[in-house]
Structure 1
Amino acid sequence: MNSLHIDSVTKSFGNKIILSDIFMSCNKGEIKGLIGRNGSGKSTLLKIIFGTEKAESKFVRVGNKVIKNNSDRKNLINYLPQDNFLPNNISIRTLIHLFLRKENRPILLENEHIKPLLYKENQHLSGGERRMVEILLIVHSDAEFILLDEPFNGVSPIIKTYIIDYIKKLKASKGFIITDHDYENVISLADTIVYLQNGYLKPIDDKSELIDLGYISRATFDNVYK
């Protein structure tokens, strides 16, 4: 079974070290939650793994294949950015045909939430509808590992629940790394959690550790996790 292996990731902006010798791995069948305060470098780390952000050093491998450039990650790693990425003035149906292989298209073309949107152009969708389309396109790509950056941003509670359930169903065939400011859903969705602070990643074995780290209050912990 392939795994995504990330090692020796270092990134600075000026004199500020954002990421310091980061190590992380993700297996197929695993949902890994990446949490941390705003500005801690979570999005930067995902971009470096995907290859759209340069780093002073990095090592990324999927199975036995070392990822050295963008072509190496084809069909292995895909990334949902924070910002909307689909072009305007194109119907959702056309976008599905452009982004997915023929074998994968029927899943979305027949999806109960996507069917009403098929003949609408992207710019005419609500923010939540756009996000849902983007997520479903990314997770149904051929990539074995999916990086999701703020997937729940602007999504209604109903669609948020739908996306969470959807990802859980797909995890048998893919690995996921997910980060979102909506940490409660990330924590509830994830099989394993890592916390990014001051440039370092810390595995979280027990959710109560987040209190000691000052990430959540005792009152919040008692209300949500007890």
Structure 2
Amino acid sequence: MILELDNVELYFKEKRILNGIYLRAEIGKVTGILGSNGCGKSCILNIIFGTLKPKYKLIRLNNKPVLKPLYKTKRIHFLPQLPITPNNLKLKIAFKLFQVNWNEFTTHFDSFSKYKDFKFYQLSGGERRIVETYILLKSPTDIVLLDEPFSHIAPLYIEKIKSIISEEKQQKIIIITDHLYRDIIETSDNLYLIKDGHSKLVTDVNMLEDYKYLSKSEF
């Protein structure tokens, strides 16, 4: 399956944020989005999901236009920067709702075994981020959008999440963005840079220096 976002033009009041954005994502390849703060990365994910309506956009699945918000198709999950789970929801109930195996989760994150009967508000921000990212990646769906999944997470857990992303890309379209650019570069098979409202396909990391996003010492 191939997802394409094309011809996006987004304004906030009179200011143009995005112009002529094109992005292609497909099963088997993680698509990463890089860009400076405020460049529109989160806006792109919200446009794909269907919760932000730009002036223009075209979304295609397998070359067929999608005429309603993708979230209404129930084929897509979105991890925004804010928590998505109700504070009083127990973890074991969330896993059932998302059809995800708790025991398999604890083989990856054994320190979470004691939290099965906890409610989400009892977790730290980083722990909650791990659980929410995991259940969205592992639940049955076609498309997963991840906005800052690595934020406030310990490096060991970041590596585990990256490994799970690598597994799940074999059956899902995964689009990811984070200010931790090294993790995005390492995780992604296809990489886009948002610069001056436009999308640039990055086929070589040296292009990130050419576009003045990073210097070679930062790669």
The code of the aligned residue for 1:219 comes to S
Which residue, 122, 127, 130 being the options, matches 2:120? 122
**CA distance 1:220–1:36, shift in 2 (3 Å):** same
2:12 corresponds to which residue? 13
Q: Deviations over 1:23-57 (max 9, x none)?
A: 11111111011000000000001000100111111
2:134 corresponds to which residue? 136
- State the Cα RMSD in Å: 1.6
1:210 corresponds to which residue? 208
1:27 corresponds to which residue? 26
Structure 1 residue runs of 5 or longer lacking an equivalent are 222-226
Does the Cα contact within 8 Å between 1:75 and 1:141 map onto a contact in 2?
no
Does the Cα contact within 8 Å between 2:49 and 2:71 map onto a contact in 1?
no
Q: Distance in 2 between matches of 1:67 and 1:159?
A: 35
Structure 2 residue runs of 5 or longer lacking an equivalent are none
Q: Distance in 2 between matches of 1:116 and 1:191?
A: 35
Residue 53 in 1 paired to residue 52 in 2? yes
2:66 corresponds to which residue? 67
2:193 corresponds to which residue? 195
In percent, how many aligned pairs have the same letter?
A: 34
Q: Which moved more, 1:137-146 or 1:38-47?
A: 137-146
1:53-202 → structure 2 map (5 Å cutoff): 53-63=52-62, 65-70=64-69, 73-98=72-97, 100-101=98-99, 105-106=100-101, 108-112=102-106, 113=109, 114-202=112-200
Moved beyond 4 Å, runs of 4+: none
TM-score (norm 2): 0.92
Q: Distance in 2 between matches of 1:57 and 1:10?
A: 5
Query: Number of residues paired by the alignment?
Result: 215
Q: Which moved more, 1:195-204 or 1:12-21?
A: 12-21
Q: Which moved more, 1:135-144 or 1:191-200?
A: 135-144
Q: Distance in 2 between matches of 1:109 and 1:17?
A: 47
Q: Distance in 2 between matches of 1:181 and 1:68?
A: 31
Q: Deviations over 1:112-143 (max 9, x none)?
A: 22433211110010111100111111112322
Q: Which moved more, 1:54-63 or 1:130-139?
A: 54-63
Q: Deviations over 1:86-116 (max 9, x none)?
A: 1011210011222x13xxx32x343222433
The code of the aligned residue for 1:29 comes to G
